[in-house]
Amino acid sequence: MKKKFIVLGVLFATFGFTKMNAQINFGDKAIGAVQKGITGFTFSNADAAALSKAAVDKMDTEHEVASATDPYTVRLNRVFGKYTAGDGFTLNYKVYKLKEVNAFATADGSVRVYTGLMDIMDDNELLAVIGHEIGHVANHDSQDAIKAAYKKEALMDAAASQSTTIATVTDSQLGKIGSAIIDSKFSRKQEAEADLYSYNFLKKNGYDVNAEESAFRILAKMSEGSQASFIDQMMSSHPDSKQRAEDAKKRAEKDGLYKPYVQQKIVNTAPAAKTTTTKKATTTKKATTKKK
């Protein structure tokens, strides 16, 4: 049986293998740079967000997205839905109904969580994982990754084109950007900082910080025995899950908050409907005796 894994901090895991129809116009500045063959023009965070949104919108049409009333969506909104405002970005959440164990967040603030992840992690562990993903957005790792991909792939091809009227990201260029993002890896430093962001999020909002260690222990156990897998290649430059679990434990110990974490019940089903039993009122007539 094939083991399932989560790739933390990897954007657009399937994006590079799909055909994109979206085109994005980055304005006169980009047009001028393309016409002159300049590869160093300013690519803003807003540009990165626009490109990310186009990619995620396309992905949403290609995956089964849980409806607003689906129990998985209800759970995700209950657990994390109230956290929508970040420092300079706005978050939006959706659930992909896929058995793979995965989650990602992109430069525009889109967070996508797979049902496979929600099936194996409780609410606190889920918070830790999503917190890590959001950490990459908050720390501008996601923005930097897509900027690098755009400059390396899309702009180089666009600079070689003969177009003098519009600067767009075409289907093939988006495909190259997706592939570049898949091939790129967050550094150990970036991963560690995203882990710290997640820990601080749990601590700040009164959650059990030990859930972060627990989440990494789950991933470490799932990784045992895997050999030369796609996931191994993706994670080759990152700290392994066991080490990240140890780091999370040390943070909790330093804060005097450490205790072995006990996973809570995982509920991805709709709450049972309440049944109301109506008792029929019975009136007992009291016999009265008239005095003669």
Catalytic machinery residues: 133
In our burial notation (b when 16+ CB lie closer than 10 A, e otherwise), range 193-227 reads bbbbbbbebbbeeebbbbbbbbbbbbbbebbeeee
Please answer whether residues 113 and 96 qualify as being in contact, where contact means their C-beta atoms are separated by less than 8 angstroms.
Answer: yes
How far apart (Å, rounded) are the C-alpha atoms in residues 195 and 289? 83
Orientation of helix 188-204 relative to helix 123-138, angle to 10°: 130
User: The sheet that has 92-96: what strands, in order across it?
Assistant: 92-96, 110-114, 103-105
Tokens representing 278 are 């109506």
How far apart (Å, rounded) are the C-alpha atoms in residues 87 and 100? 30
Q: In the block, which residue shows the tokens 């409780």?
A: 122
Please answer whether residues 65 and 96 qualify as being in contact, where contact means their C-beta atoms are separated by less than 8 angstroms.
Answer: yes
Strand, helix or coil for residue 111: strand
| Rg (the chain; Cα; Å) | 25
CA 183, 117, 252, 92 dihedral sign is: positive
Q: In the block, which residue shows the tokens 């996931």?
A: 231
- Give the CA angle between residues 234, 225, 125 to the nearest 5°: 65
